Structure 1
Amino acid sequence: MTTPATLSYRSYLRWRRWSEAGFWVLVVGVNGTVNSVVAVLDRRRQGAQVPVWEPAVWEASSALMWLLVLIPAIAAFTARFPLHWDTWRRHLPLYAAASMALSLVHVAGMVALRVLAYASQGMEYDFGPWPRELAYEYIKDLRSFALIVLTMAGYRFLLRRWQGEARLLDVPDEGPPLEPVERPERFLVRKLGREFLVSARDIEWMQAAGNYVNLRVRGHDYPLRSTIAGIQERVDPRRFVRIHRSYIVALDQVASIEALDTGDARVHLKDGGVLPCSRRHRQGLRERIDGGAGG
Structure 2
Amino acid sequence: MELDRAHARRRRFMFAFWLLAFGSAAISNTLTLRIDAERHGIAASAWEIATNEFTSMVVSLAMLPFLLRACDRWPLHAETWRRRLPFYVAGSIAWCIGHIAGMDLLRLAIFSATGIGYDPGPLWLQVVYEYLKDVRTFFIVVALWHMVAWVGRQVKGEAHLLVAPDDAPAVEPVDRPDRFLVRKLGRDFLVATADIEWAQASGNYVNLRVRGRDYPLRSTLAALEARLDPAVFVRAHRSYIVQLSQVTSIEPVDSGDARLHMADGTVLPCSRRYRESLRAAAAGAEPVRARAGSGG
2: CA distance between counterparts of 1:147 and 1:293? 54
Using the TM superposition, give the Cα deviation of residue 73 of structure 1 relative to its aligned residue in structure 2, in angstroms: 1.0
Amino acid at match of 1:271: D
Q: For residues 142-177 of structure 1, give each alpha carbon's deviation from its aligned partner in whole angstroms, at most 9, with x where no partner exists.
A: 111111111111110001111111111133132112
Using the TM superposition, give the Cα deviation of residue 212 of structure 1 relative to its aligned residue in structure 2, in angstroms: 0.5
Instruction: Tell me if 1:111 matches 2:126.
Output: no
Instruction: Tell me if 1:66 matches 2:85.
Output: no
2: CA distance between counterparts of 1:267 and 1:183? 25
- 1:215-234 matches, cutoff 5 A: 215-234=208-227
Q: Which residue of 2 aligns with 1:139?
A: 132
Unaligned runs of 5+ in 2: 289-296
Instruction: Tell me if 1:125 matches 2:109.
Output: no
TM-score (ref. length: structure 1): 0.91
Instruction: Tell me if 1:164 matches 2:142.
Output: no
1: CA distance between counterparts of 2:68 and 2:210? 27
2: CA distance between counterparts of 1:56 and 1:131? 24
Q: Which residue of 2 aligns with 1:56?
A: 50
Cα distance 1:130–1:264, how it changes in 2: closer, same or farther (>3 A)?
A: same
The 8 Å contact of residues 11 and 68 in structure 2, kept in 1 or not, is answered as no
Q: Which residue of 1 aligns with 2:194?
A: 201
Identity among equivalent positions (%) equals: 48
Q: Which residue of 2 aligns with 1:4?
A: none
Instruction: Tell me if 1:182 matches 2:139.
Output: no
Q: Which residue of 2 aligns with 1:262?
A: 255
Unaligned runs of 5+ in 1: 1-8
The 8 Å contact of residues 239 and 294 in structure 1, kept in 2 or not, is answered as no
Amino acid at match of 1:126: D
- Runs in 1 of length 4+ with deviation above 4 angstroms? 12-18
2: CA distance between counterparts of 1:248 and 1:210? 15
Cα distance 1:196–1:87, how it changes in 2: closer, same or farther (>3 A)?
A: same
Instruction: Tell me if 1:38 matches 2:43.
Output: no
The 8 Å contact of residues 160 and 217 in structure 2, kept in 1 or not, is answered as yes
2: CA distance between counterparts of 1:243 and 1:173? 35
2: CA distance between counterparts of 1:140 and 1:21? 20
TM-score (ref. length: structure 2): 0.90
The counterpart of 1:76, out of the listed 69, 88, 94, is 69
The 8 Å contact of residues 248 and 263 in structure 2, kept in 1 or not, is answered as yes
Instruction: Using the TM superposition, name which of 239-248 and 93-102 deviates more.
Output: 93-102
